[in-house]
Chains A and B, each alone.
Chain A
Amino acid sequence: MHYALGDYVLDIAQNAVEAGSAEVRVDLDETDEAFSVAIEDNGCGMGGEELSRALDPFYSDGKKHAARRVGLGLPFLKQATEQAKGSFSIVSEKGKGTRVAFSFPKDNVDTPPLENVPALFLSLLCLPGEHELVIRRTREGGGRLLRYELSRRALSEAAGGLERGDSLSLLRKYLVSQEEDD
């Protein structure tokens, strides 16, 4: 079950990585009014029929996860945005990639909480694979602006890999520091 907006982001980003993408981009924008997220990849993409099935919670092609009979990531997200009067869109082209964008208004009671952002980014960075992941984060409101960009490759190189416990602890420290206002 999803409790926070970060859970949806992680779900969709995992889809992107598992689609064999060389590069995944995650944009997380926050204003006083809304959270907006866009996740874009250059993975295998989906055709028309496949795309409509991706939004069916009772369908899974069983290729990625052989034991699963359902695929709930996208349907849950779509349902949550409808419930909170947000927006949802998915554009995909076979062989080229997919872009999922969604937003949640902050003043709706059904909008999930954002989650701990450094923890979310750390989970995103640790999704296994050789792909590049670029995360862009913006938070604007109350006359203050926060903006930064993360690159999985650059961070992995600086922190000495993403598998070691000591590297992850350094990375966590780095990510927490990025949440400081400019």
Chain B
Amino acid sequence: MAKMTLEQLKKLREEKRGDLVRRDVEGKQIQIIVGMGTCGIAAGAKQTFDEIVKALDEYGIGNDVLIRQTGCMGLCYVEPTVEVVMPGMPTVIYGKMTSDCAKELVRKHIVEKTLLNDHIFDRPAADIVNK
């Protein structure tokens, strides 16, 4: 590791501050939750997470959406999984959300408010609870 300068420290602080704003819950109605259990990470959930963050910034809604990670959602066969909670839309768990689908997820679900039908998967535990 090279010696860090004060300028680099300032820059790093700004970056971290951006991360904190993204993870701040205050006043945010829309949540994107990425499954990051071992299964999710092995299937590329980290890359998906990064791409979602990038897409949110591209659409200028990075500060309005809370993005966070969680453990395995029990859908290991369709990892990476992403849950989206948004007012006016059903809460959905999307599966097979590889990094190349991330932009589409943000555009369709968050911006255009339409579902990505090919990626919708149910949550088994919720089905059992709701019987």
Q: How many interface residues does B have (CB within 8 Å)? A: 13
23 residue pairs A–B, Cβ–Cβ below 8 Å: A154-B6, A155-B9, A158-B6, A158-B9, A158-B13, A159-B9, A159-B13, A160-B13, A160-B17, A166-B16, A166-B17, A167-B13, A170-B9, A170-B12, A171-B9, A173-B4, A173-B12, A177-B1, A177-B3, A177-B4, A178-B3, A180-B1, A180-B2
Chain A's closest residue to B12 (CB) is A170
Report yes or no: B9 in contact with A174, Cβ–Cβ below 8 A: yes
Q: How many A-B residue pairs have CB under 8 A?
A: 37
Q: B residues engaging A (CB < 8 A)?
A: 1-4, 6-7, 9-10, 12-13, 16-17, 20
- CB-CB under 8 A from A167, the residues of chain B are 13
- Secondary structure dominating the interface of B: helix
- CB-CB under 8 A from B17, the residues of chain A are 160, 166
- CB-CB under 8 A from B6, the residues of chain A are 154-155, 158
Report yes or no: B3 in contact with A170, Cβ–Cβ below 8 A: no
Q: A residues engaging B (CB < 8 A)?
A: 148, 154-155, 158-160, 166-167, 170-171, 173-174, 176-178, 180, 182
Instruction: Kindly list 6 other residue pairs between chains A and B, CB separation below 8 angstroms, not including A160-B17, A180-B1.
Output: A148-B3, A159-B13, A160-B13, A167-B13, A174-B9, A178-B4
